[in-house]
């Protein structure tokens, strides 16, 4: 009886061992190799590298377009721009600012690549020449647009050292509101004046003058519906008004671009 039970147990063990061998053979392949899994990449270029290459190509084309559209095709300007950029990248992590020798070295490196002669540190610092005063004046005059203006002096007066509109000032501005209201393409400039700034304004006449101009602007915007972006409040750093009363008030100028002159 004991031998029969032992034989039966041995048969079960043999059957179990055969099942494990079959399972092991299936798991590692018929020749003992590793079974291919779905997450294994096929041979070739990874997909992310293709997208990265496309992005780099787009960046290259973008910078080529920028260089092509530049008004001045100068390789020296490109070298002068690339040099400090590369020097800044290589100097990342340092607390100190870039030294002139590092920047100059990188600039000359790229100048050689563009077939240009090396420059000195003095030439690098003075690369951007300061234009003469008459050139600056000519540039400013060419940038200004012709305009026509209607001057309305002393639209508001203030008590000494004050930037508060009184009742008389409000009534006078109400009468002038329709005349001062900016129309199409017009803007209203309010210029404050002051020569009587007290402790409340730190003794700063320009600060008091600006506060007076802002007081007039707030009244016109809040009470008469002026468009805020078409009303500009300003003050003069130096007062040049010839009259005493005008130096404590606000002047108004209604400005319109001169379409006929600009065309």
In this prediction, residue 199 carries a pLDDT of: 78
Burial (CB count <10 Å: 0-12, 13-18, 19+), residue 137: exposed
In this prediction, residue 22 carries a pLDDT of: 44
Which pLDDT tens digits describe the chain residue by residue (263 residues)?
Answer: 444 444 444 444 444 444 444 444 444 444 445 555 555 656 778 888 889 999 999 988 988 887 777 776 666 667 767 777 776 666 655 544 556 677 778 778 878 887 878 878 777 665 545 556 667 677 777 766 777 888 999 999 999 889 999 999 999 999 999 999 998 889 999 999 988 887 776 778 888 899 999 999 999 999 999 999 999 998 875 555 545 455 789 999 998 876 555 44
Going 99 to 102 to 104 to 106, the CA torsion angle's sign is negative
In this prediction, residue 239 carries a pLDDT of: 56
According to DSSP, the β-strands at 187-192 and 231-235 are parallel
The answer to whether residues 106 and 99 touch, using CB atoms and an 8 Å cutoff, is no
The answer to whether residues 217 and 117 touch, using CB atoms and an 8 Å cutoff, is no
Sketch the domain layout of the chain as residue ranges: 75-87+99-126, 144-262
Which secondary structure element, helix H or strand E, spans residue 27, and what is its range? helix 2-28
Q: Mark 29-43 as b/e (b = at least 16 C-beta within 10 Å).
A: eeeeeeeeeeeeeee
Cα–Cα distance measured from residue 254 to residue 189, given in angstroms and rounded to the nearest whole number: 6
What is the three-class DSSP state of 71?
Answer: coil
* CATH architecture for residues 144-262: 2-Layer Sandwich (3.30)
Which secondary structure element, helix H or strand E, spans residue 254, and what is its range? strand 249-257
The answer to whether residues 195 and 216 touch, using CB atoms and an 8 Å cutoff, is no
For residue 111, what are the CA distances in angstroms to 70, 78, 81, 104, 124?
19, 9, 11, 10, 12
Burial (CB count <10 Å: 0-12, 13-18, 19+), residue 132: exposed
Cα 105-109-110 angle, rounded to 5 deg: 125
In this prediction, residue 219 carries a pLDDT of: 96
Cα–Cα distance measured from residue 104 to residue 109, given in angstroms and rounded to the nearest whole number: 8
Cα–Cα distance measured from residue 231 to residue 221, given in angstroms and rounded to the nearest whole number: 9
Axis-axis angle for helices 100-113, 75-90 (nearest 10):
130
DSSP assignment of 9-20 equals: HHHHHHHHHHHH
């Amino acid at each position: 009886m004991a031998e029969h039970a032992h034989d039966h147990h041995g048969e079960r063990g043999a059957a179990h061992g055969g099942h494990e061998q079959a399972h092991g053979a299936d798991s590692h392949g018929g020749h003992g190799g590793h079974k291919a899994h779905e997450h294994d990449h096929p041979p070739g270029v990874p997909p992310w590298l293709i997208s990265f290459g496309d992005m780099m190509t787009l960046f290259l084309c973008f910078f080529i377009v920028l260089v092509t559209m530049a008004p001045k095709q100068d390789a020296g300007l490109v070298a002068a721009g690339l040099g400090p950029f590369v020097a800044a990248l290589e100097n990342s992590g340092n607390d100190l600012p870039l030294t002139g020798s590092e920047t100059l070295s990188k600039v000359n490196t790229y100048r050689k690549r563009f077939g240009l002669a090396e420059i000195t540190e003095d030439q690098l610092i003075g690369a951007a020449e300061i234009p003469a005063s008459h050139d600056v004046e000519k540039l400013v005059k060419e940038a200004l647009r012709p305009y026509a203006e209607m001057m309305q002096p002393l639209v508001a007066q203030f008590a000494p050292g004050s930037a508060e509109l009184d009742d008389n000032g409000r009534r006078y501005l109400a009468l002038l509101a329709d005349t001062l209201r900016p129309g199409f393409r017009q803007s209203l400039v309010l210029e404050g004046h002051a020569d009587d700034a007290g402790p409340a304004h730190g003794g700063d006449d320009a600060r008091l003058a600006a506060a007076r101009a802002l007081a007039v602007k707030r009244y016109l915007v809040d009470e008469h519906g002026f468009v805020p972006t078409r009303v500009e409040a300003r003050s003069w750093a130096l007062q040049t008004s010839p009259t005493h009363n005008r130096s404590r008030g606000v002047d108004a100028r209604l400005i319109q671009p001169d379409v006929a002159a600009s065309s």
